[in-house]
């Protein structure tokens, strides 16, 4: 049990927390850069950088699965799709009115304040005795080795203990793809009809 | 958009095999290392999309039709659901992989491998499908 789930090594003098702080500061700077970006292409690239730094944060928080997903999906794949969309939509968007900008920024500030206020009630990061970790997590950690016998507990939970959930997720991805196909092909048909 | 960059054009044919190899590595080592079917599928799709993005002219579209992508995506879900049906035949609960083999742990390993394969197939084809639908015609 011990050799199975012990992390291979741990940095001394809490290097990971310092790096996490640096990554968080870079994310805030990236957000500020996003506000002043002028063209659509620029904002897409900045959003991609933001995703990359969230992935790095996940890595420092010992969640390599989430980091891999965030980097592949958020930083790489959605950037490619959005860059292709820019070619269709055009580089310059409409500039919104000033009153709209002020209203939107007030909403954003209220939202940030509410979320920050709510975050004081969160359990501390990595707390072992929080209600979240004491019931099911305990069971998974103790029984994965005897029931399933694979080293990755995350894969064991996703694929075996929670097989139904993953089946639902896979079906949702298929349905989402088919929905995009249906919407875009319906849009195209009347255009082709008017051309001919 | 990226068609004019000659360095990218020269480098990418060298890089894409490694991206696809990495996705296959993650797919096969899902139960040992971080990642799994979903991550493998996304990285595989990223390799194909990078090829299409740099070389343009809907080359991906020529080789892989939209029908093939939809069929691959559905096949992945069928593989997943079919793995559950195997355990139903053996008088066990749905998606209880212990019934697949005589040894319960061996059955779990086979079941997890099969469903990860299904997830990877679905995710890779659906990501390619969404990209090729939204690209400039």
Tell me how long chain A is: 196
CB contact under 8 A, A184 and B133: yes
pLDDT interval class at B9 (50, 70, 90) = confident
Name which of A80, A174, A181 is nearest B77 (Cβ-Cβ): A174
CB contact under 8 A, A73 and B42: yes
Q: How far apart are CA A57 and CA A19, in angstroms?
A: 8
How many domains does chain A contain in total? 1
Q: Which residue has the higher pLDDT, B116 or A1?
A: B116
Query: Rounded to two decimals, what is the model's pTM?
Result: 0.84
Give the chain B residue nearest A185 (alpha carbons).
Answer: B133
Would you list the DSSP string of B30-87? TTTSS--HHHHHHHHHHHHHHHHHHH-TTHHHHHS-HHHHHHHHHHHHHHHHHHHHHH
Q: How far apart are CA A52 and CA A73, in angstroms?
A: 10
CA atoms within 13 A on the CB side of A186: 6
Q: In Å, how far are A104, A147, A151, B112 from A166, measured between CA atoms?
A: 37, 19, 19, 11
Name which of A68, A76, A173 is nearest B34 (Cβ-Cβ): A68
pLDDT interval class at A110 (50, 70, 90) = very high
CB contact under 8 A, A166 and B136: no
Interface test with A, best of B48, B107, B135, B137 (most A CBs within 10 A): B135
Contacts of B31 in chain A (CB under 8 A): 150-152, 155-156, 159
A129 in a structural domain = no
Q: What ipTM was reported for this prediction?
A: 0.89
- State pLDDT tens for residues B86-114: 888 888 888 888 888 888 888 888 999 99
Domain range for A22: 1-91
Q: Please say whether the beta carbons of A186 and B133 come within 8 A.
A: no
Name which of A167, A171, A180 is nearest B130 (Cβ-Cβ): A180
Phi/psi of residue A159, nearest 5 degrees? -90, -35
Contacts of B76 in chain A (CB under 8 A): 170, 174
Straight-line distance from the first to the last Cα atom of chain A, in angstroms, rounded to the nearest whole number: 70
**Average of per-residue pLDDT across B58-86:** 87
Q: Which of B50, B83, B64, B137 is nearest to A88 (CA)?
A: B137
pLDDT at res. A195: 44
Name which of B30, B76, B129 is nearest A170 (Cβ-Cβ): B76
A100 in a structural domain = no
Give the chain A residue nearest B54 (alpha carbons).
Answer: A80
Q: Please say whether the beta carbons of A170 and B118 come within 8 A.
A: yes
Q: How far apart are CA B93 and CA B116, in angstroms?
A: 19
pLDDT at res. A194: 45
- State pLDDT tens for residues A43-87: 999 999 999 999 999 988 888 889 999 999 999 899 988 888 888
Q: How far apart are CA B15 and CA B42, in angstroms?
A: 16
A1 pLDDT more than 50: no
- State pLDDT tens for residues A147-190: 888 888 888 888 888 889 999 999 999 999 999 999 888 655 55
Give the chain A residue nearest B136 (alpha carbons).
Answer: A88
pLDDT interval class at A11 (50, 70, 90) = low
Exposure letters A29-38 (e unless 16+ CB within 10 A, then b): ebeeebeeee
Four-residue CA torsion sign, B94, B31, B76, A164 = positive
B91 Ramachandran zone, left/alpha/beta (phi>0; psi -120 to 50): left
A79 in a structural domain = yes
Question: In this structure, how many other beta carbons lie within 10 angstroms of the beta carbon of residue B20?
Answer: 16
Secondary structure E strands in A39-122: none
Four-residue CA torsion sign, A19, A21, A22, A23 = positive
């Amino acid at each position: 049990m011990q050799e199975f789930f012990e992390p291979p090594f741990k940095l001394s003098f809490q290097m990971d927390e310092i790096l996490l702080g640096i990554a968080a500061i870079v994310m805030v700077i990236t957000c500020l850069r996003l506000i002043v970006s002028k063209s659509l292409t620029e904002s897409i690239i900045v959003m991609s950088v933001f995703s990359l730094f969230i992935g790095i944060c996940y890595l420092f928080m010992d969640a390599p699965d989430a980091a891999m997903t965030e980097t592949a999906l958020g930083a790489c794949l959605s950037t490619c799709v959005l860059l292709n969309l820019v070619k269709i939509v055009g580089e310059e968007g409409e500039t919104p009115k000033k009153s709209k900008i002020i209203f939107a920024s007030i909403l954003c500030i209220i939202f940030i304040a509410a979320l920050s206020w709510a975050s004081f009630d969160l359990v501390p990061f990595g707390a072992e005795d929080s209600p979240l970790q004491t019931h099911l997590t305990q069971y998974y950690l103790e029984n994965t080795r005897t029931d399933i016998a694979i080293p990755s507990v995350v894969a064991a939970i996703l694929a075996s203990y929670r097989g139904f959930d993953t089946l639902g997720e896979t079906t949702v991805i298929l349905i989402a793809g088919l929905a995009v196909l249906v919407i875009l092909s319906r849009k195209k048909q009347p255009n082709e009809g008017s051309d001919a | 958009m990226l068609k004019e960059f000659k360095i990218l054009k020269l480098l990418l044919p060298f890089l894409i095999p490694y991206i696809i190899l990495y996705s296959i590595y993650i797919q096969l080592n899902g139960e040992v290392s971080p990642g799994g079917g979903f991550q493998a599928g996304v990285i595989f799709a990223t390799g194909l999309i990078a090829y299409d993005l740099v070389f343009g002219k809907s080359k991906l579209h020529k080789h892989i039709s939209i029908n093939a992508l939809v069929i691959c995506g559905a096949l992945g879900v069928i593989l997943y659901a079919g793995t559950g049906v195997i355990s139903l035949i053996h008088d066990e609960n749905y998606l209880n992989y212990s019934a697949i083999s005589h040894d319960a742990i061996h059955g779990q390993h086979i079941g997890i491998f099969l469903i990860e394969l299904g997830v990877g197939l679905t995710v890779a084809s659906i990501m390619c499908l969404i990209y090729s639908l939204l690209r400039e015609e």
